[in-house]
Amino acid sequence: MKNRKLGNSLLEVSALGLGCMSMSSGYGPAADRQEMIKLIRVAHDRGVTLFDTAEAYGPFANEELIGEALASIRDKVVIATKFGFDIDLETGARNGNTNSRPGHIKAVTEASLKRLRTDCIDLLYQHRVDPEVPIEDVAGTVKELIAAGKVKHFGLSEAGIQTIRRAHAVQPVTAVQSEYSLFWRGPEAELLPLLEELGIGFVPFSPLGAGFLTGKIDENTKFDPTDFRNNVPRFSPEARKANFALVDLIKVVAERKHATPAQVALAWLLAQKPWIVPIPGTTKLHRLEENLGAVDLDLTTGDLEEINTAASRIKVQGERLPEAALKMTGR
């Protein structure tokens, strides 16, 4: 496994991290706990050092899973988690609203530390920007947590350009998370140039387009009733049928490189910037092995130009998130 530094920070992690949300929520029923613990430990054995979770995944269940899985190797890994939603810390009940009031951030951090079985969180993200709380107050609160030794690095997820600038002026931002892949290239316009300017690392989630870029999903695929993709316009049967043209172009490169579409999609992301660290998620060991193979896949300048030229001719159909979720991004 190769390593990368997140921007100008001293935080060095594996070139591919592991997004752990799907183990507990989002894509259907939670996976078997012991199998997921085994998967997480195999990932570490293969060189993965960045593990991404959040209090909202479950809620709470994913952090508890990560805490148990990594307890014996805590000093060898980087754990990233998130605050920012209005979740009752006793019951786990949530109302869908954001909550980044300073007192709530501190309470969430204490609860996360317990669930993660650690005394310090390596990377603490604001999960979504709270329009009711100035970002300076949020950054200032995380700065206090860093001074207290409870957090090492500050991150933002799905934040807008000016929000990132304002936060960074109070407490340097180590990493920004947002969706980014050949399926969603929105960050290229403004976000990536800003991160390069400020020396902030980028951690793309859904780097395989929520599974679409693997080539295993078509218009006939049926998702579990609790799978969030049932409510995503981009995953309507009609959109999937139209968008498969993107998968077809990736397959052409994959066949030539003796790789899989997923590996090409991840290698493309890794080739964009040296400070990009994608976090593909999976609940299957063979998918983990497949994804990690992308780190050693060398896409030439010609390969990248071919992909970009072909992709530019394809207009991806459908929004990447439901309308309500989109309203919580880029603020």
Confidence of residue 118 (pLDDT cuts 50, 70, 90): very high
**Number of domains within the chain:** 1
pLDDT in tens, 196-217: 999 999 999 999 999 999 999 9
Give the DSSP letter string of 162-226. Answer: HHHHHHHHHS-EEEEEEE-BTTB-GGGTTHHHHHHHHT-EEEEESTTTTTGGGT---TT----TT
- Residue 15's pLDDT is 98
Confidence of residue 16 (pLDDT cuts 50, 70, 90): very high
Domain presence at residue 234: yes
Residues with Cβ within 8 Å of residue 95, at least 6 apart in sequence? 86
Which helix H or strand E contains 2, and what residues bound it? none
* Strand pairing class (85-87; 94-98): antiparallel
Range of the domain at 201: 3-326
pLDDT in tens, 140-154: 999 999 999 999 999
Domain presence at residue 21: yes
pLDDT in tens, 221-249: 999 999 999 999 999 999 999 999 999 99
Domain presence at residue 29: yes
Can 27 be counted among the known catalytic residues?
Answer: no
Q: What is the mean pLDDT of the chain?
A: 98
Domain presence at residue 110: yes
- Residue 254's pLDDT is 98
Domain presence at residue 331: no
pLDDT in tens, 60-110: 999 999 999 999 999 999 999 999 999 999 999 999 999 999 999 999 999
CATH assignment at residue 79: 3.20.20.100
Q: Which of 27, 57, 125, 180 is catalytic?
A: 57
What is the share, in percent, of the chain residues with pLDDT greater than 70? 100
pLDDT in tens, 269-313: 999 999 999 999 999 999 999 999 999 999 999 999 999 999 999
Q: Count the neighbouring beta carbons within 10 Å of the beta carbon of residue 277.
A: 27
CA distances from 193 to 43, 186, 188, 189, 200 (A): 31, 12, 7, 8, 10
- Residue 93's pLDDT is 96
- Residue 228's pLDDT is 97
| Half-sphere CA count of 128, side-chain side, radius 13 A | 17
HEC sequence for 39-85 = HHHHHHHCCCCEEECCCCCCCCHHHHHHHHHHHHHHHHCEEEEEECE
- Residue 84's pLDDT is 98
- Residue 214's pLDDT is 98
C-alpha gyration radius of the chain: 19
pLDDT in tens, 187-197: 999 999 999 99
- Residue 226's pLDDT is 96
Confidence of residue 330 (pLDDT cuts 50, 70, 90): very high
